[in-house]
Amino acid sequence: MSLRQLLLGFPRSLGASSSTRRLWWSPSLDTISSVDSWRGQPSRSRAHWNQVVSEAEKIVGYPTSFMSLRCLLSDELSNIAMQVRKLVGTQHPLLTTARRLVHDSRNNLQLRGLVVLLISKAAGPSSVDASCQNYDMVSGIYACQRSLAEITELIHTALLVHRGIVNLNELQSSDGPLKDMQFGNKIAILSGDFLLANACNGLALLQNTKVVELIASALMDLVQGVYHENCTSAKDNHITDDIGISTWKEQTFLSHGALLAKSCQAAMELAKHDAEVQGMAFQYGKHMAMSHKINSDLQPFIKEKTSDSMAFNLNSAPVVLHQEFLGRDSWIKQIGEAQEKGRLDYAKLRETIKAGKGVTSAIDLCRCHGNKALEALESFPPSEARSALENIVFAVTRFS
Amino acid sequence: MPYFNLVKSLTSAFPNVYRISQSQVSSYTPAVCCRSKTRSEKYTDPFKLGWRDLKGLYEDIRKELLISTAELKEMTEYYFDGKGKAFRPVIVVLMARACNIHHNNSRDVRASQRSVALIAEMIHTASLVHDDVIDDASSRRGKHTVNKIWGEKKAVLAGDLILSAASIALARIGNTTVISILTQVIEDLVRGEFLQLGSKENENERFAHYLEKTFKKTASLIANSCKAVSVLGCPDPVVHEIAYQYGKNVGIAFQLIDDVLDFTSCSHQMGKPTSTDLKLGLATGPVLFACQQFPEMNAMIMRRFSLPGDVDRARQYVLQSDGVQQTTYLAQRYCHEAVREISKLRPSPERDALIQLSEIVLTRDK
């Protein structure tokens, strides 16, 4: 059962009526697009991606639903599901996150867990560990590695939820009443903390102090990455902080790469693979995540049909590279030219950027990380799991 | 005392608790507003004794927060300013020494046990930072809260960061049993916060619910960090259970008194405004006891003191009732239980300091 099916199913199993169920996420259908980084790509490429993922899922034994049933069916989360409905009608970001959890699970949400499982299978059991309990291996993956995949998803989701806290002193009247926004913050903190506590619990059960340390440090990286992401996001005047591509890479590693890299490494540690194999798994996780992020940053600039007014992130890879080629002053001038009465004309700015070298060099950067990910895979023996990991890289580095 | 055993188990039925007659309430008076008091110094001050092993506590915690970004570092270090009571670390190191002496007369605190003291303070602080956002609190320990200075978005990340640093330190102790014990605390803290969201209509369930919340939000951290240092210092499971029971009982007593002080203390003493709990819609011990004398409070409890005037009226009811005394009495019972447990250990200055500490918990006025 996928996460989505679980989420769709569980309010019903708790006896909620279908009308209350609809309230929770149905308003999302028209707004989901703005948060779904994959929606905009050409349908051919998307179909290809879906195919890569569903084939990979077959390899790991069963579909990748990582949020454990225990967690989803707990009183705490069902309580949250009821509370979230109160926020409908406000602009609290928790609603968007809840919608993403339901609608977007196909693409971004389960990818991390899937990669952890694939790399576990690609590495296989360690030769050192021949005595070890092969009995708890299903489809070539240890039970503890499956738990780890689940923990990776829990941490990722917890931070998605914590990203969506709002500053109460910056509210606009259009956001909704202060009381509701306060309430939304409260629920967002609690649900994120709940997911984190479940992740900690799962980690403790793995009984491996090195894995606990690795994943705890991945959490620390991720939190710092989210902090930078918040800080560098564009202010009212649309001028972003002056970060070069090397700072961008560091920060993106923290926010998008560290968790996957360290989880892949930890999966090797759980099977008692040596430091070299662990290092290669780390490299694959890191570079695959980087190339995946750059690919999604590129979508507003390369898709065939663009809804003109659609906003894009001014701290995305193509924009940062564009800025670097251009120089800070010219960039500020270009942003100024694309503004009208304080509103940024994204269509105009997009064309300006497309005319520069930012987009092509972002594609190059995406492929560069993709190649490094493929290189790391060469140290694993050929297998269908390794091919699936390669196919994921091919899918995120394909731009035609 | 059969009724106490019922209270002690967290599933106790409420009527058994509240039928404590006035005559049974001991001579302990609750700490009242702005009262200055002197206590006979029969033993060494437990805080002084504990601090021998805690020198550089806050510097060491700050070293665990290896963060390169200046603002983020400042936020995470904000409460580790050396001005807190370090109540938890003190209990933890005293317990460590008491267990070590009990086990093999060793007078040293192991590095791993001292780490547990740091981790306990870090987990506690991480949860404070999140609680303050949840409650929209504006001051703590006489300063502005992290959320008021840096905003809610950053405050929640600061809490997560402290938690991740605590988890790294915990992993580095290198003991999977200790990891499991302290992970339980993280889970209890969240579940306690969820318990606080809901209220029970049934009066009998309400008191059990309150005690369970109190255990999870406050006592679990003290109980489990005491257990963790006992595991590190001594292989005997009997000692682990003594350490856990002491921490649990002192922890619950600590929170009960905290709930009393919310009614009896001046704001400048607590470093935070009083009647905070009522304003948050929470019915704590004194309210639940008062409700037995003034059933009209039931409606207010159920609407979480949300109507204008509810907070003031509830406060008046509590002060007219014996809710404060009953809660203090209950706290005393928990402390007696803590003392009974810790007395099973071999005598040592640290053991006696822990006994002394349970008394301080009862008589503190801030």
Contact in structure between A249 and A349 (CB atoms under 8 Å)? no
Give, rounded to a whole angstrom, the gap between the first and last alpha carbons of chain B: 30
Give the count of alpha carbons within 13 A of B189, CB side only.
Answer: 30
Contact in structure between B153 and A165 (CB atoms under 8 Å)? yes
Write the pLDDT tens digit of every residue in B121-138.
999 999 999 999 998 888
Residue A110 pLDDT: 74
Confidence class of residue A116 from pLDDT cuts 50, 70 and 90?
very high
Q: Which of A69-73, A79-83, B5-9 has the highest average model confidence (pLDDT)?
A: A79-83
> Which residues have CB under 8 Å from A275's CB, separation 6+?
none
Interface contact A197-B197, CB threshold 8 A: no
Write the pLDDT tens digit of every residue in A322-364.
999 988 888 888 888 888 877 888 888 888 898 889 999 999 9
> Which residues have CB under 8 Å from B72's CB, separation 6+?
A224, A227, B154, B157, B158, B161
Residue spans of chain B under pLDDT 50? 1-41
Residue type, B159: G
Q: Is residue A13 a part of any domain in this protein?
A: yes
Of residues A186, A192, A212, nearest to B179 (C-beta): A212
Q: Is the pLDDT of residue A119 over 50?
A: yes
Interface contact A190-B194, CB threshold 8 A: yes
Confidence class of residue A178 from pLDDT cuts 50, 70 and 90?
confident
Residue A234 pLDDT: 56
Centre a 10 Å sphere on the Cβ of residue B349 and count the other Cβ atoms it contains. Answer: 17
Q: Is residue A33 a part of any domain in this protein?
A: no
Q: Is residue A63 a part of any domain in this protein?
A: yes
What are the structural domains of chain B? Answer: 41-363 (1.10.600.10)
| Alpha carbon distance A180, B356 (integer Å) | 46
- B136: chain A residues, CB-CB within 8 Å: 168, 182
Q: Which B positions 142-161 lie with beta carbon below 8 A of chain A?
A: 151-154, 156-157, 160-161
Of residues B168, B179, B190, nearest to A197 (C-beta): B190
Q: Is residue A34 a part of any domain in this protein?
A: no
Q: What is the ipTM of this complex?
A: 0.86
B140: phi > 0 → left, psi -120 to 50 → alpha, else beta; which? beta
Question: Which domain does A111 fall in, by range?
Answer: 3-26+41-396
Residue B89 pLDDT: 97
User: What CATH number corresponds to the domain at position A200?
Assistant: 1.10.600.10
Closest to B114 (Cα-Cα) out of B94, B141, B136:
B94
| Alpha carbon distance A155, A149 (integer Å) | 10
* Chain A contact present for B189, CB below 8 A: yes
Q: What is the DSSP letter of A175?
A: G
Higher per-residue confidence, A3 vs A171: A171
Q: Is residue A318 a part of any domain in this protein?
A: yes
In chain A, how many domains are there? 1
Angle, CA of A221, A222 and A227, to the nearest 5°: 100
Residue B270 pLDDT: 59
Interface contact B153-A167, CB threshold 8 A: yes
Residue B19 pLDDT: 40
* Mean of pLDDT values over A138-157: 90
- B198: chain A residues, CB-CB within 8 Å: 79
pLDDT above 90 as % of chain A: 40
Q: How many Å lie between the alpha carbon of B154 and the closest alpha carbon of chain A?
A: 7
Of residues A166, A217, A226, nearest to B168 (C-beta): A217
Tokens of B296: 């009209």
Centre a 10 Å sphere on the Cβ of residue B352 and count the other Cβ atoms it contains. Answer: 19
* Chain B contact present for A157, CB below 8 A: no
Write the pLDDT tens digit of every residue in A207-247.
999 999 999 999 999 999 999 988 776 565 566 777 889 99
* Chain A contact present for B106, CB below 8 A: no
Buried-state track B81-90, b at ≥16 Cβ within 10 A, e below 16: eeebebbbbb
Q: Is residue A385 a part of any domain in this protein?
A: yes
Lowest mean pLDDT among A25-29, A49-53, B211-215, B233-237: A25-29
